[in-house]
């Protein structure tokens, strides 16, 4: 089941959900409106699943940063979110989609026990200027069914990710960089 806005607010108050920084005005009927952080990685070379992704990292200035079509950008959420009780789904929304920004299409699931600032996959269909702290999508919380299994207790390769992560698929590919 998906939590309603009032249930999200109550769970934050009870310490069952972490949203940091939290603003009650960002709670909507079934989600929390999350924001873009102030750092972005630009992946502008050819990508190879057998090697770590090359990138340049830039701060997003208050005057904005122009996303260009044909490039992969890895961003980060302003908020750190998580819960031992609930799973999360992070998505873009109409706010970004109507600007031609595709955000976080491939990995929306946040497991129980994983409190993070999310790494975002970002693509632009047209040149578009983005700003740090702008609303970038919706985060929903889900009640899992069955015995809880905290992500931090699993042998998961992204369990200790700090900041913007890159694909670590190369660790699984024979002949890949390890």
Residues marked as catalytic? 121
170 class by beta-carbon count within 10 Å (0-12 exposed, 13-18 middle, 19+ buried): middle
9, 27 contact by CB (below 8 A): yes
Residue 34 CA neighbour count, 13 Å, CB half: 32
Query: Between the CA of residue 9 and those of 18, 92, 115, 118, 151, what are the distances in Å?
Result: 10, 21, 17, 20, 23
Minimal CA–CA distance to 75: which of 63, 61, 89, 58? 58
């Amino acid at each position: 089941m998906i939590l309603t806005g009032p249930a999200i607010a109550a769970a934050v108050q009870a310490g069952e959900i972490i949203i940091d920084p939290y603003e009650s005005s960002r709670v909507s009927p079934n989600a929390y409106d999350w924001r873009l952080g102030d750092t972005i990685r630009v992946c502008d070379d050819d990508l190879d699943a057998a090697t770590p992704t090359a990138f340049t990292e830039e701060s997003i200035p208050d005057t904005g940063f122009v996303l260009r079509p044909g490039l992969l950008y890895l961003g980060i959420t302003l908020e750190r979110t998580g819960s031992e009780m609930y799973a999360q789904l992070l998505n873009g929304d109409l706010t970004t989609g109507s600007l031609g920004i595709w955000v976080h299409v491939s990995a929306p699931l946040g497991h129980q026990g994983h409190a993070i600032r999310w790494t975002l996959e970002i693509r632009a269909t047209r040149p578009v200027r983005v700003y740090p702290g702008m609303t970038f999508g919706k985060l929903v919380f889900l009640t899992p069914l069955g015995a809880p299994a905290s992500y931090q207790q699993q042998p998961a390769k992204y369990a200790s990710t700090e900041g913007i992560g890159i694909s670590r698929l190369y660790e699984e590919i024979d002949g890949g960089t390890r």
